[in-house]
Amino acid sequence: MLRLLGYLLMNGVATSKDYCPSLGDEAIGLPKLASNNCIGSECSKCSDICPTEAISVLDGGPNANLELDLGKCIGCAMCIRICPEKTFSSNASTETAAVNRKSLVLSTKALDIQAVNDIEGARSPFARSVACRVVSTGCSACDLELSAASNSIFDMERFGIQIVASPRFADVLLVTGPVPKAMHAALKSCYDAMAEPKRVVAVGTCAISGGLHGSGYAEANGISDLLPVDVYIPGCPPHPWSIIDGIRKVMR
């Protein structure tokens, strides 16, 4: 015991004291809209280069109307690099989860609305603790970040968030990956096995929209058409803080 106390005194506490701190300068977050200088459809470099069709240039410039759908964005940063008008910049926030799919769509016509913090409504039955079952249908990068959210730095259990082994014990279904057709029935069975009340969280861009896999032969377009989604966590993969933020939005 004394050795353990000595070790802790020497090394300090690894667990972050801040909730959802901003990303460091070395990290590239999801993009945000930084200006409405877009010169419009005669340029369209950003929408041409975007690999997931997350950007729509809706008219000609100057000050063209442009929409950025974070629910499709994989955070490759190519739009930030290519835009000659500096329309995009990196968003250092890790509080990126949304309870409303529409609030993930940003517009140059509403530059002041860059935050997707749209929690509203009554107190949740899961305010004190929540048990989560994970169904993984993708490349597992989101699963690795979900696993990191349990480590001693992020320590999501201190917020009352637990991962459980069976849908019978779960309040929340966390879905990662684009959910190809071969997983539709398995995912539905898992959801049906959960008792009411229950919630669904789409963890990562693939689970929201299919991401890079969307509209492909495997019909991997995310879970929105399969299950009622309560919280959307964009990112490819999302940061562990963003995952904790999303689950906390279920808990309210």
Binding site for ligand SF4 (CB under 6 A): 31, 38-39, 43-46, 49-52, 54-55, 57, 66, 68, 73-79, 82-85, 87
Q: How far is the CB of 129 from ligand SF4 (least distance, A)?
A: 34
Side-chain half-sphere CA neighbours of 6 within 13 A:
3
Q: What is the SS3 assignment for 16-46?
A: CCCCCCCCCCCCCCCEEECCCCCCECCCCHH
Whichever of 45 and 184 has its CB closer to ligand SF4, that residue is 45
CB of 145 to ligand SF4, least distance (A): 17
Quote the DSSP letter at residue 124: P
Residue 74 CB, nearest approach to ligand SF4 (Å): 5
Contact 181, 217 (CB under 8 A): no
CA terminus-to-terminus distance, the chain: 38
**Least distance (Å) between residue 30 CB and ligand SF4:** 7
Residue closer to ligand SF4 by CB (options 43, 132) is 43
Residue among 44 and 136 whose Cβ is closer to ligand SF4: 44
Q: Minimal distance in Å, beta carbon 53 to ligand SF4?
A: 8
Which residues on neighbouring strands pair with residue 89, listed in sequence order? Answer: 32
Q: Which is nearer to ligand SF4, 167 or 211 (CB)?
A: 211
Inter-residue contact 168 to 195 (CB < 8 Å)? yes
Strand partners, 174: 134, 201
Judged by beta carbon, residue 64 or residue 172, the one nearer ligand SF4 is 64
